[in-house]
Amino acid sequence: MTDIRLGPYQLVAELGSGGMGTVYRADVVEPVDGIPVGAAVAVKVLHPHLFSTEGFYERFLREARLGRSVHHPNVVGTLDGGVVHDGGKARHYLAMELVEGYTLRELIRRLGRVPEKKCRYIGFEIAKGLAAIHAAGIVHRDIKPENVLITPEDTVKIMDLGVARLREESIRLSQSGDLIGSVHYAAPECLTGLDADERADLHALGLVLYELVTGKHPFEAPTFCSVLERVLHEKPRSLREIDPLISPCFAALVEELLYKDREKRLTEAARIATILQNAECSHWWGRHCPGQLVPRAPPLTTLASRSSARM
């Protein structure tokens, strides 16, 4: 429990902590635009040292505004952002939609390999969320299993919109654990100094799908430098070489998302969502795997409950 008050938010309990800040469950105790008094929200309090960088505060406010512009069921909503001065100490925060559920990282730990049918459903949901993010002119920049949540209703939600660019800027300043964790899901062009665009998020989606269906990241290595080398230069092992039961179409889709040259990748999240939703009915799917049928996926809750029963 905590008795910290941040403007209109009363922090109730810590939910977790990471490289950017600490997340709390909080109650709204004063009226906020669009948020009723008494509502429960998640509040991320950013680490003070991040704001020692010149211009970081202005970028923080800009990213918070961008995050509030996206309203989509597959994206955890950014509700508010600001700073509270307490005894001469500045506390910067982001208020977000409070969502119950478990992350894709937890799903991988439970199941090891996630069935392809379920991977297609998860990919479809992520792609829909990315389409909304990209339509708002935003690149998420940090799509990874830890930042994707599955609710009890089987809705898949992208988290951390509005802080990903700030994390990227802070990462560039240090050789921290966050850097090592994030480089696994970075597109090659981002590691060579090019600006990230929508294709970087789609590359990360490909990596997430690869890891879900195989249970392992394609570029695992013991050191940061060796991970970097693999991300930049190594082609991932073929999915069907790992598991011949993976459909040629799904393997081909993931392969196209993971091209090193971003000019060769699929470029639109909405199109990827259509491919994954329609499966054998999609033009892309039919072109790659004519005549192949893909059965409908079971609910995520069924998989999670089966996994829990085995644990």
Q: Write out pLDDT tens, residues 72-91.
A: 999 999 888 888 887 778 88
Question: Chain-wide mean pLDDT for the chain?
Answer: 82
**Stretch among 18-27, 28-37, 175-184 having the lowest mean pLDDT:** 175-184
Residue 37: pLDDT band with limits 50, 70, 90: very high
State the CATH number of the domain containing residue 140: 1.10.510.10
Q: Are residues 264 and 140 in the same domain?
A: yes
Q: Are residues 126 and 65 in the same domain?
A: no
Domain boundary among 97, 124, 148: 97
Q: Are residues 157 and 252 in the same domain?
A: yes
- Confirm if 246 and 239 have CB atoms less than 8 A apart: yes
User: Is the Cα torsion angle 204, 206, 208, 214 positive or negative in sign?
Assistant: negative
C-alpha to C-alpha distances, 68 to 34, 71, 106, 133, 311, nearest whole angstrom: 11, 7, 27, 11, 39
Q: Are residues 58 and 177 in the same domain?
A: no
State the CATH number of the domain containing residue 84: 3.30.200.20
Q: What is the DSSP letter of 152?
A: T
Q: Are residues 156 and 72 in the same domain?
A: no
Residues identified as active-site: 142
Residue 137 backbone dihedrals phi, psi, to 5 degrees: 80, 25
User: 21 in helix, strand or coil?
Assistant: strand
Range of the domain at 109: 102-310
Query: Number of helices (H) and strands (E), helices first, in the chain?
Result: 13, 9
Find tokens 């600490």 and name the residue: 22
Q: Are residues 292 and 161 in the same domain?
A: yes
Q: Are residues 107 and 87 in the same domain?
A: no
Q: Are residues 76 and 107 in the same domain?
A: no
Domain boundary among 79, 97, 115: 97
- 133-160 b/e (C-beta count within 10 Å ≥ 16 → b): bbeeebbbbbbbbbbbbbeeebebbbbb
Which has more pLDDT, 16 or 241? 241
Domain boundary among 97, 127, 151: 97
Question: Domains in the chain: how many in total?
Answer: 2
- Residue 104 pLDDT exceeds 80: yes
Q: Are residues 22 and 119 in the same domain?
A: no
Q: What whole-number distance in Å separates Cα of residue 236 and Cα of residue 213?
A: 13
- Residue 282 pLDDT exceeds 80: no
Q: Are residues 38 and 160 in the same domain?
A: no
Q: What whole-number distance in Å separates Cα of residue 22 and Cα of residue 4?
A: 13
- Residue 109 pLDDT exceeds 70: yes
**Stretch among 43-47, 87-91, 144-148, 244-248 having the lowest mean pLDDT:** 87-91
Q: Are residues 127 and 72 in the same domain?
A: no
Q: Are residues 25 and 137 in the same domain?
A: no
Question: Average pLDDT, stretch 212-228?
Answer: 91
Structure-block tokens of residue 32: 């906020």
